Structure 1
Amino acid sequence: MKKKRPTKLRRRLFRSYITATISITLVLFLVGLMSLLVQNAGRLSDYVREHVGFTLVLQDDVRDVEVLRLQKMLSATPYVKSTEYINKEDAAVTLANDLGEDFVDFLGFNPLFSSLDVKLYAPYMDTDSLVVLEKNFLQYPQVKEVYYQRDLVRVINNNVRRISLFLMIFALLLLFIFTALINNTIRISIYSQRFVINTMKLVGATRSFIRKPFLWKSIAYGLIGGLIANITILLLIYSYQKDFKEILDIRQLDTVGLTFIVVLVFGVLISGLSTYFAVNKFLRLKFDELYY
């Protein structure tokens, strides 16, 4: 029986270490996802805003050479991201498919005009810039009319501001929750060894000597949990990069690298600080108080 007790104790401690590591890993995985979300919030808003642009209705007698020249001039400007030419025949086919009826045969002519779909860079999608750009586009001789969805642009800009504010508050709240979860996990792990701490104190060990193994062990928890969480996040990004290639890419070394650093630093820092304060608490307790 005496030989089995150390074995049971070692198994109990091993299960405690595994439980603590898994708990920290799960929390750090959520920390990494939150970091990716915060870093890519701006990229997501830019992606939405850059898919709303101008439609330049062209003159009816404009030639293809003039359209090509206009596209090159627009592409050379700092605010135009891309242009797409849609001739009147393609526009008629698209509209006929939407209506389910060939209106060209019914009217006897094609009433539509050729057009250019112009997508702008996100910084130029505010209301004031769009008013100025609309006037600039109308100065081109090839352009007959300029159209863009003013209400949609206004709604998108307003929602981007609101979502950004909400995201910052949400991120701070999650950060507080994650810190509390890791702190509680570490405190529970150390609580199971409170009598060991008291025994070391009774035989004359200094506080720093007692704290050292617990600190190194908690730092190991943070590092191992952070590495496993980072590997999981990397696999997740790799698996879904085709679906979110406009927003998140595994080749974005700055975003992915910063996320990995945040996860590791957060794991080590919170684990170390939680351990330091938890051990100090049990060092201050008297033997009778350890049972409460």
Structure 2
Amino acid sequence: MGKHMTEPTDGLAIETTGLTKRFAGKKTAVDDVTLDVRRGEVYGFVGLNGAGKTTFMRMLVGLARPTSGTLKVLGSSRLTNEVLRRVGTTIEKPAFYPGMTGRQNLTLLARYTGMGVADIDASLKTVDLAGRADDKFRTYSLGMKQRLALAAALMGDAELLILDEPTNGLDPSGMAAMRDLIREQAASGRTVMLSSHLLGEIAQVCDRVGVIHHGRLIAVGTTGEIESKYGARPSLVVTCDEIPRAAVIAAELDTVEEVREQADGLLVFAPEDAAGPLTSALVAAGVTVRGIRPNQRSLEDVFLEMTSDTVAERQA
């Protein structure tokens, strides 16, 4: 086993209890978050932009001080240099120099942080940059730049990786390559916590997911558990004219829980067997109905539904 296989005594790589961060004159960024990340798993931390993901991760590596609550990283409640050397992170991406090569940038970073340079070639190979290591950073694509940041996080044989939006801005092929890299790190025995604002994207690589909204942790589980619990709310897509009037008519039906106006019709939260009565009510009122069908919801739909303020308030 590699040295990154050292096992925390409590079996958890990350543990927080009531972790809270308030900024002076601003809203609470992280609000009473209690979670754990198990050793060896890939944990996805998902939330809309501004939900508190980065602030939470910054506290895990000592870049921000909690207002209240406790945390443990790799079994330690003190974020000493010894502990942090075992953590690789892309939260604060290194300031790579455009005119220097990938290898030169990593060499400079290793010297600056006190790490040895022996891991550079291995890290570059791991992220599939060995063939471009001696090209200047300015010639790198966005995906290559993201991979170089991951290579920097891997130096020192970190046993815990905390990756902030590692797929952000990547095209589908770049996302797929980054997912493969993350899976490889988990397969090697590392624990990975990564954040994203896309549940559908992160679901493809994570063992468990925590959903954060306005600083509060509102759901934790496998993607299957979350989809089952929060995705079971049936709805109908109605394509029609006179949308505002149609919304009022639909909302009057007993089986309709909620109605939302869309660009070409309505999203009606009701069971599938409400389609007939709903169509009849709209037609009887003189509304032209061009189509009605059950809503096939993706994981992303479930996520957006979960993080709508009305739903989040019900969950709180």
Q: With the length of structure 2 as denominator, give the TM-score of the two structures.
A: 0.22
Larger Rg computed on CA atoms: 1
Q: With the length of structure 1 as denominator, give the TM-score of the two structures.
A: 0.24
* Greater strand content: 2
More relative contact order, 1 or 2 (CA 8 Å, 6+ apart):
1
